[in-house]
Amino acid sequence: MKIDIHHASPIPETYRAARVSSMFNVEGDADFRLTVEADLSARPWQVGLIVGPSGSGKTSLGRALFGRELDAEPQWPRQDVIIDAISPDSEMDQVTAALAAVGLGSVPSWLRPWGHLSNGEQFRANLARLLCERPALAVVDEFTSTIDRHVARIGAAAFAKAWRRGPGQFVGVTCHDDVVQWLNPDWVIDTRSAEFKWRRLRRAPRISMEIHKTDGSYWPLFEPHHYLKLPRMVAADYYVGFVDGEPVAHVCFSPRPGLVEARACRLVIMPEWQGAGLGLRFLNEVCALWRRGVNRYERPMPTLFHTSHPGLATALRGQPLWAQVSANLGQSSSVKRKSIKGRLGGHFRAVQGFRYVE
């Protein structure tokens, strides 16, 4: 299919226009033209990308290809927190799964209005909403254009992985080509060269992490991003994962009575790295060390891990290295204190237990 775009811009007969066209040797007109050959019906696809510098015809090409205005940033209620604003008629588990899938796993952020989030969090919230609404075709202009490039790459990879699990087609339109290998689209149109290419699916670039045992001094850096308000873990070994020298992951380990099993908790991934799959890789690596006896007790121990985070529980259930061993309703200590004082309110939370079985 051949797409011809022509925006006519005849040069007006004014002094300034005539002077500029004469100075820079512009003759005839200042029309914009772009021709692209792109047969999108030749293969099935789910994710596409139109990329090119500003003014190269990306938005016009998107309109010509899909016969519609491109999707603008969605409108959000000013007061509703995002857990209420996203797809109100859907099951809550679907919404929390979408938030976790795009890397917005910080529960306190779920309890804020969209306007109170950072630019990166707003970007991920928009993607989570798109996952829940699941239009047959979504064409998003200025995809990743207004956010930090690291967040853009990680967020694009997380979204593409989640989008491919369901139906529908997604097209991103962006001036940043750094997201190409992370989004891993089925096809790319580059408006700089007017080229259309089908792409073979590849894995997103690998992220290398170094894991170090620490003294717990990093916990204050991670604590604001944990989904529960908890003090430091007593008599624990602390582990921190670093990517290019930057601390991005945290977990604590301590033995249970009798040194028959280890307990892990305080697992935190920094928000800008959420959605890249680092959390479980990091946790699994430390669990494997303890299972082999690489700990201060020099004793092999399996690991028990409890969580009430819905996204993390779902991810652990899908891991062959983990077996679910419990699921209980429990009250947080803050709710218990309120009950003691005679005040009603609060919710039970489902605490789910998993054992590392490898």
Per-position DSSP letters for 200-240, written without gaps between them: ---PPPP---EEEEE-STTHHHHGGGSSS---PPTT-EEEE
Dihedral class, residue 26 (left if φ above 0, else alpha if ψ from -120 to 50, else beta)? beta
Residue 347: predicted pLDDT: 52
Question: Is pLDDT of 276 > 80?
Answer: yes
Q: Name the residue ranges covered by the structural domains of the chain.
A: 1-37, 44-198, 210-356
Largest Cα–Cα separation, the chain? 91
- Compute the average pLDDT of residues 70-74: 78
Q: What's the length of the chain?
A: 358
Q: Which fold has domain 210-356?
A: Aminopeptidase (3.40.630)
- Give the pLDDT band (50/70/90) at residue 166: very high
Q: Is 345 helix (H, G, I), strand (E, B) or coil?
A: coil
Out of 3.30.420.40, 3.30.1360.30, 1.10.730.10, 3.40.50.300, the CATH code matching 44-198 is: 3.40.50.300
**Range scoring the smallest mean pLDDT among 179-193, 246-260, 313-327, 335-349:** 335-349
CA quadruple 51, 179, 198, 71: dihedral positive or negative? negative
- Give tens-digit pLDDT for 50-67: 999 999 999 999 999 998
Question: Is pLDDT of 339 > 70?
Answer: no
- Give tens-digit pLDDT for 18-58: 888 888 887 777 788 899 999 999 999 999 999 999 999 99
Residue 331: predicted pLDDT: 55
Question: Is pLDDT of 182 > 50?
Answer: yes
Query: C-alpha angle 195/54/122, rounded to 5°?
Result: 105
Question: Is pLDDT of 301 > 70?
Answer: yes
Is residue 176 within 8 Å of 144, Cβ to Cβ? Answer: yes
Separation between Cα atoms, residue 183 and residue 100, nearest integer Å: 17
Query: C-alpha angle 270/273/279, rounded to 5°?
Result: 80
Is residue 204 within 8 Å of 171, Cβ to Cβ? Answer: no
Residue type, 42: A
Residue 10: predicted pLDDT: 85
Is residue 109 within 8 Å of 121, Cβ to Cβ? Answer: yes
- Compute the average pLDDT of residues 81-92: 93
Query: C-alpha angle 60/64/65, rounded to 5°?
Result: 115
- Compute the average pLDDT of residues 65-94: 89
Top-ranked range on mean pLDDT: pick from 16-25, 76-85, 340-349: 76-85
Question: Is pLDDT of 340 > 80?
Answer: no
- As given in the structure block, the two tokens for residue 326 are 């419990």
Spell out the SS3 assignment of 149-195: HHHHHHHHHHHHHHHCCCCCEEEEEECCHHHHHHHCCCEEEECCCCE
- Compute the average pLDDT of residues 306-325: 90
- Compute the average pLDDT of residues 330-341: 45
